[in-house]
């Protein structure tokens, strides 16, 4: 009996120690997350950087869309459409040089597409079609075979097919209605890839990683994170935008696996304190590192509002003489901004303190833009202001 009680006591003590250890570990995690402001805010390298060579290539071409229901180019106003139509018909053995072509069912268009990285011949891609002349709509039209060329002038794809548009135009004698843009359309899987870009990822022994938001600190952190994950000093920052990765010899036959591992690594990004202002739209975007030195802010405007109203003055009933007259009455209202207050911002206030202080003045975004620019001019804002 004593042995059973002793065993129960030992098990109870063991459970207590395990529970206490788990509680301490949880407390350390919570304290660490509260002390470290960057905890849980890291980003994958995949989301902040691009790998050299893994990119789209833009393609463009010139073609004709036929089959339009009288909504095509006016050949008299678009001579390039007439010349293209004549050249196409001559390739099919039709001579139209002697007579003037009169049709409104053809439109000259620009065809664009993005060639995906490592696309192979025979694969398909989506293409966009945009009217070049004075066509009213591409609804119901079909794009004829159009070569798509890259920046080097080589043909990388060929596009053809019915054009799908997301709008329409309807008109009558006295009114018309237009939805979206009927002169721009899209052909899903309308392009066929004919040529590869020639970039071979597996042949590289050195690869560059380009940050989308250049920053010295972020570039250094990316290289440190990659080296820690690979266990070798394979990456080093070249500049605020570029991190150079020397591919380890044992990984050169597994480039896809190596890059897949790297792009999933998480890095705490860092950016300079910046305030973006769009004066046209009244938009203000402030980064979390914006700091303000001691400064006092007051905002108030003198507003004079004049209202004119007209009243009718007429003689009393049974009056011997008198005429009915229109009399103007003017009302003046003056607002000197007496309700505005002076707000003092202390040293090193955070973004939240700055927003709360400006909101306490009861001002709108456009007045806030002027205040931020005045704070920067006074040298009290430790951030860069960028006007869009």
- What is the spatial distance between Cα 208 and Cα 51, in angstroms, rounded to a whole number? 6
User: Which range of residues forms the domain containing residue 289?
Assistant: 274-301+339-387
CB 267 within 8 A of CB 45: yes
DSSP state of 251: G
Indicate if 65 and 181 belong to the same structural domain.
Answer: yes
Arithmetic mean of pLDDT over the chain: 79
CA distance between the termini of the chain: 83
Which is higher by pLDDT, 218 or 316?
A: 218
Indicate if 67 and 165 belong to the same structural domain.
Answer: yes
Q: What pLDDT is attached to residue 27?
A: 44
Q: What pLDDT is attached to residue 78?
A: 84
Q: What pLDDT is attached to residue 204?
A: 86
Going by pLDDT thresholds of 50, 70 and 90, the confidence category of residue 336 is: low
- Domain-embedded: residue 105: yes
- Domain-embedded: residue 281: yes
CB 237 within 8 A of CB 201: no
Which is higher by pLDDT, 55 or 22?
A: 55
Percent over 90 (pLDDT), the chain: 36
Indicate if 160 and 245 belong to the same structural domain.
Answer: no
Question: Which backbone phi and psi does 88 adopt, to 5 degrees?
Answer: -65, -45
- Residue 219 DSSP SS3: helix
Going by pLDDT thresholds of 50, 70 and 90, the confidence category of residue 373 is: confident
- Domain-embedded: residue 44: no
Q: What pLDDT is attached to residue 99?
A: 67
- Domain-embedded: residue 312: no
- What is the spatial distance between Cα 17 and Cα 377, in angstroms, rounded to a whole number? 61
Token pair 């004698």 is at which residue? 173
Number of domains in the chain: 3
- What is the spatial distance between Cα 142 and Cα 190, in angstroms, rounded to a whole number? 11
Going by pLDDT thresholds of 50, 70 and 90, the confidence category of residue 82 is: confident
Indicate if 183 and 87 belong to the same structural domain.
Answer: yes
- Domain-embedded: residue 122: yes
- Domain-embedded: residue 177: yes
- Domain-embedded: residue 28: no
Which is higher by pLDDT, 330 or 313?
A: 313
CA angle 186, 187, 189 (to 5 degrees): 135
- 178, 193, 208: which is the final residue of a domain? 193
- What is the spatial distance between Cα 66 and Cα 109, in angstroms, rounded to a whole number? 10
- Domain-embedded: residue 164: yes
Indicate if 169 and 118 belong to the same structural domain.
Answer: yes
Indicate if 205 and 295 belong to the same structural domain.
Answer: no
**Which tens digits make up the pLDDT trace of 130-149?**
999 999 899 999 999 999 99
- Give this prediction's pTM: 0.65
């Amino acid at each position: 009996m004593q042995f059973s009680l002793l065993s129960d006591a030992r098990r109870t003590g063991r459970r207590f120690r395990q529970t206490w250890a788990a509680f301490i570990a949880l407390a350390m995690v919570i304290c660490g997350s509260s002390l470290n402001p960057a905890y849980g805010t890291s980003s994958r390298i995949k989301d902040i950087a691009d790998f050299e060579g893994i990119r789209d290539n833009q393609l463009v071409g010139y073609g004709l869309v036929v089959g339009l229901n009288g909504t095509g180019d006016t050949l008299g106003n678009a001579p390039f459409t007439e010349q293209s139509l004549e050249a196409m018909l001559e390739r099919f053995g039709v001579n139209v040089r002697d007579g003037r072509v009169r049709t409104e069912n053809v439109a000259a268009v620009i065809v664009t597409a993005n060639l995906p990285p490592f696309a192979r011949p025979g694969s398909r891609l989506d293409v966009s079609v945009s009217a070049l002349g004075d066509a009213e709509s591409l609804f119901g039209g079909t794009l004829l075979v159009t070569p798509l060329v890259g920046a080097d002038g080589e043909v990388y794809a060929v596009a053809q097919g019915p054009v799908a548009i997301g709008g329409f135009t309807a008109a009558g004698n006295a009114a018309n209605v237009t939805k979206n843009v009927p002169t721009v359309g899209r052909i899903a899987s309308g392009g066929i890839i004919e040529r590869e870009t020639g970039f071979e990822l597996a042949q590289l022994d050195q690869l560059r990683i380009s940050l989308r938001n250049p920053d010295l600190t972020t570039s250094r952190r990316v290289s440190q994170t990659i080296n820690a994950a690979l266990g070798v000093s394979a990456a080093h920052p070249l500049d605020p935008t570029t991190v150079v990765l020397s591919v380890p010899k044992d990984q050169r036959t597994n480039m896809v696996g190596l890059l897949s591992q790297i792009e999933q690594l998480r890095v705490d990004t860092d950016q300079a304190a910046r305030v973006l202002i769009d004066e046209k739209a009244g938009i203000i975007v402030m980064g979390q590192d914006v700091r303000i030195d001691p400064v006092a802010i007051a905002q108030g405007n003198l507003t004079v509002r004049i209202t004119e109203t007209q009243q009718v003055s007429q003689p009393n009933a049974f009056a011997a003489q008198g005429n009915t007259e229109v009399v103007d009455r003017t009302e003046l209202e003056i607002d000197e901004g007496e309700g505005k207050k002076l707000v003092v911002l202390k040293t090193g206030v955070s973004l939240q303190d700055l927003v709360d202080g400006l909101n306490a003045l009861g001002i709108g975004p456009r007045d806030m833009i002027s205040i931020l620019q005045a704070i920067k001019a006074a040298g009290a804002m430790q951030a860069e202001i960028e006007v869009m």
